[in-house]
Amino acid sequence: MKCAYKISSYSRINILALIFLIFIISQMQAAFGQAAPSSTTTGNVYYVATTGLDSNAGTITAPFRTIQKAANTVQAGDTVYVLPGTYTLTGPGAHPTYSNYASIYTSKSGTAAQPVQFISTLKWGAKIVSTGNRIAWLNDGAYVTIQGFDITGTMGVGILSNGNYSRIIGNHVHDYTSSYCDSSGSGTGIGSGRGNYVDIIGNLVDHLSVASTCPAGQIHGIYAAYTGMRIINNVVNNVKNYCIHVYHAPVDNKIFSNTAFNCGSGIIVAGTAEGLAKNNSIKNNIIYQTVYYGIHEYATTRDGTEAIKNNLIYKTGILPAISTDDPTTAVSGNIISLTATQEAALFVNYQAGGSGDYRLQSTSPAINAGATLGVPYNVDYDGVSRPQEILTIFLPQVLIPIPELQLLRGKLLLLRFLSLKLGTLLF
């Protein structure tokens, strides 16, 4: 017997509600998910794979073998996608003048509208192992993006970008011991070199040290020197000297929402004979368990326009946690003391060696303690907008078992939203 099933008006409403819910979820995933590649350009697209050949055309079906071949080929507006695999690079390096200096050398510039982009197709899937050269990746091009690479080996510097308006996004630079002992210093994980307006955002930098043959050598997690740097949402840990070192003649730099722990010291901002430090802002950072300083500044090389606000600094070897002898520096809203209960709630699972979970617990003292930074600084390490509000949408009553969502009593409630927070990670 043939049966006809008539959909009731209430069922139709529920089906429409479900469709609308799926749309809302897709929009939230787009808005709150991991950041997409830095820009969309209309230039050529090239591919690099461990199975490729540099005599190939650089297409998806005939990729280049080396990033250097792609670097020599690109022009403004071009994008290079590097497929997962291990790319082992040795001396004498790729720099046209200096031998054993840089394993990868990028010098072609883009423009504001048409940057040159080097992107690992899988975050940290393209693994660069550099040996025999001082720098793993040296960039001299302006408007160049380096995004999503895993970089390690035996060198002094992971990524150094001298190019103005370059972007170092979402890389993992880690686990090497510098044996360079000359006047240029032992090294850093990520540095801006002579560049201005460089973005260093969302990177993980960890386990950098100096060889015992260089007892006075220094190595820092992130090193910036000049104007307009944005050092945001990085996680830096287990570095011999400063987690974040802003020095030489820093002007208008923004050091926001970084998490730094188990380093020699946390953050330094200071000018030198090259110029005063001016109008630098240090906000919403978490600095935990350092051997020496938390936040350190030199008043003799500053012009009094600095701001150190809404940071959490605890368990520093040298007190006070914020070390400044400049009375004109705006210092406010910082947390420098925790109870044992607050300290235990700071991270989900703190491990000094870097193997823990450094997201914030729901009761972390860093939640709701940050300054309002506004666009584009209101996105955390996971690409989620901060602060967030409860989203309420009136729909017919439906119950759908979707993690972190409830549709109940005619309202869609999005759970686990934070407000203002410090550091880089959400709970």
User: Domain-by-domain residue ranges, the chain?
Assistant: 29-338
For the whole prediction, is pTM greater than 0.85? no
- In 27-156, beta strands by DSSP E: 45-48, 79-82, 85-89, 102-106, 116-120, 126-131, 135-139, 144-147, 150-154
Mean pLDDT in runs of 10 for the chain (427 residues)? 43 48 42 41 91 98 98 98 97 90 97 97 98 96 98 96 97 95 83 94 97 88 95 97 92 95 95 85 96 85 78 95 84 95 96 94 91 82 62 36 33 33 50
- In 225-300, beta strands by DSSP E: 230-232, 235-239, 242-246, 254-256, 259-261, 265-269, 281-283, 286-290, 295-297
Tokens of 180: 């360079």
Tokens 């883009």 belong to 110
Terminal CA-CA length for the chain? 56
Give the chain's count of helices (H) and strands (E): 3, 33
Of residues 69, 241, 204, 62, the one with CA closest to residue 124: 204
Of residues 157, 84, 78, 83, the one with CA closest to residue 115: 78
What CA–CA distance (Å, rounded) separates 256 from 234? Answer: 9
pLDDT one-digit tens code per residue, 255-309: 999 999 999 999 999 888 888 888 899 999 999 999 999 999 876 566 666 899 9
Of residues 8, 30, 27, the one with CA closest to residue 396: 8
What CA–CA distance (Å, rounded) separates 5 from 199? Answer: 59
Instruction: Say if residues 422 and 284 touch (Cβ distance below 8 Å).
Output: yes
What CA–CA distance (Å, rounded) separates 222 from 159? Answer: 10
Fold of 29-338: Pectate Lyase C-like (2.160.20)
Tokens 């991991």 belong to 34
